[in-house]
């Protein structure tokens, strides 16, 4: 198998036919053997029956039907787990990622890269709030992590089997695939494209899902927030020390003081500082523990036509 194309599906009934039509056109031009892996992430519309109908007439259509909505990153992970292609493409179902770009991405992969990701030059048809928050997120993440995660890049990409095998061996529960792939290394390059508008339906990424996803990215790839707590603690303690000297001065030398103020202010400030340092240190441990302690399965499959 030359190519696996992974398509996460959450309420995409209006896009599935158009998508497979365009993908088939692309694959025909490329002259490769290909499997399509649709991962139905708990859609509440007719998506899964459309996919099953496709699978009946086309043996290259595989599907995984989840027991409920597990989220986009987990859906892609399930596709990666079941894929067998030498190269693997991740693409959104809503045609925001133009399938035709796969031809160029595949060519660059064969030129000796292990990952070719698609970088957005422009995004059409999205609210200014989404554009602004996405822009800020990628830049903040870049400034606080030592992993070189490319800005303005989603999961639309092609990667070599080598990368997929490493990804499958990474046990983290809170997936942030674009960060994990950057972390893995090898030779990575990109192609630029203009992100189209969603063909039909509406976004499955609510603001709640986006915030959780952003926090997965930050906590998975940076300890800066924890360090920030510790740094605050040290600054507060430093200030407390200066105030303490002043309080002692007013108490014993200038004698210009209010009864009881000295001890109160010293203890309040000192304790505040020590507490922040302690919370920061505990946080360092908890963040490492919690990520690895809950050994739940990542997803539950209701039905699939892929055999083990």
Which positions touch ligand UDP (CB under 6 A)? Answer: 8-10, 12, 41, 69, 71-72, 75, 92-94, 96, 203-205
What is the distance of C-alpha 73 from the center of its chain?
Answer: 7
Total Cβ atoms within 10 A of residue 114: 21
Closest CA to 7 of 64, 67, 46, 49: 64
Nearest approach in angstroms of CB 138 to ligand UDP is 13
Beta carbon of residue 208, minimum distance to ligand UDP (angstroms, whole number):
11
Q: Which two tokens stand for residue 104?
A: 């160029």
Return the residue nearest ligand UDP (CB atom): 204
On whether the CB atoms of residues 152 and 130 are closer than 8 A, the answer is no
Nearer to ligand UDP, 75 or 102 (CB): 75
Question: Shortest CA distance to 72 belongs to which of 8, 129, 135, 119?
Answer: 8
262 binds, among Mg ion, ligand UDP, none (CB under 5 to 8 A by kind): none
Q: Decide if residue 73 touches Mg ion (CB under 5 A).
A: no
**Are 225 and 150 spatial neighbours (Cβ–Cβ below 8 Å)?**
no
* CB of 96 or CB of 180, closer to Mg ion: 96
- Least distance to ligand UDP, CB of residue 79, Å: 10
71 binds, among ligand UDP, Mg ion, none (CB under 5 to 8 A by kind): ligand UDP
94 contributes a contact to Mg ion by CB under 5 A: yes
Partner whose binding site includes residue 205, from Mg ion, ligand UDP, none (CB under 5 to 8 Å by kind): ligand UDP
Shortest spacing between CB 51 and Mg ion, in angstroms? 18
Alpha-carbon dihedral angle through residues 117, 298, 82, 19, given to the nearest 10 degrees: -50
Among 11, 40, 47, 96, binds Mg ion (CB under 5 A): 96
Does position 155 interact with Mg ion (CB under 5 A)? The reply is no
Nearest residue to 217 (alpha-carbon basis) of 129, 277, 154, 124: 154
Asked if 167 and 34 count as a contact pair (C-beta separation under 8 A), the reply is no
Which CB sits closer to ligand UDP, 13 or 114? Answer: 13
In this complex, which beta carbon is closest to Mg ion, that of residue 19 or of residue 163? 19
Q: 174 with 71: CB under 8 angstroms?
A: no
């Amino acid at each position: 198998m030359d190519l696996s194309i992974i398509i996460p599906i959450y309420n995409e009934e209006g896009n599935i036919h158009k998508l497979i039509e365009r993908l088939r056109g692309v694959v025909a031009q490329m002259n490769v053997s290909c499997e399509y892996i649709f991962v139905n992430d708990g859609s509440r519309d007719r998506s899964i029956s459309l996919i099953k109908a496709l699978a009946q007439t086309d043996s290259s259509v595989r599907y995984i039907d989840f027991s409920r909505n597990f989220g986009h990153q987990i859906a892609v992970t399930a596709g990666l787990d079941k894929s067998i292609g030498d190269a693997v493409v991740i693409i959104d179902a809503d045609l925001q990622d133009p399938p035709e770009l796969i031809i160029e991405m595949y060519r660059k992969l064969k030129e000796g890269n292990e990952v070719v990701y698609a970088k957005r030059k422009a995004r059409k048809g999205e609210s200014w709030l989404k554009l602004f928050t996405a822009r800020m997120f990628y830049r903040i993440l870049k400034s606080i992590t030592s992993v070189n995660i490319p800005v303005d890049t989603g999961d639309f990409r092609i990667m070599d089997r080598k990368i997929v095998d490493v990804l499958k061996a990474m046990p983290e529960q809170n997936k942030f695939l674009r960060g994990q792939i950057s972390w893995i290394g090898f030779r990575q390059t990109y192609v630029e494209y203009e992100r189209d508008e969603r063909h039909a339906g509406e976004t499955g990424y609510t603001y709640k899902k986006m915030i959780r996803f952003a926090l997965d990215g930050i906590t998975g790839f940076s300890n800066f927030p924890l360090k920030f707590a510790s740094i605050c603690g040290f600054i507060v303690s430093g200030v407390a020390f200066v105030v303490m000297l002043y309080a002692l001065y007013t108490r014993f030398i200038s004698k210009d003081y209010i009864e009881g103020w000295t001890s109160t202010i010293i203890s309040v400030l000192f304790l505040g500082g020590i507490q922040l340092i302690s919370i920061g240190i505990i946080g360092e441990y908890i963040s490492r523990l919690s990520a690895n302690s809950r050994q739940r399965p990542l997803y539950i499959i209701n039905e699939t036509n892929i055999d083990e």
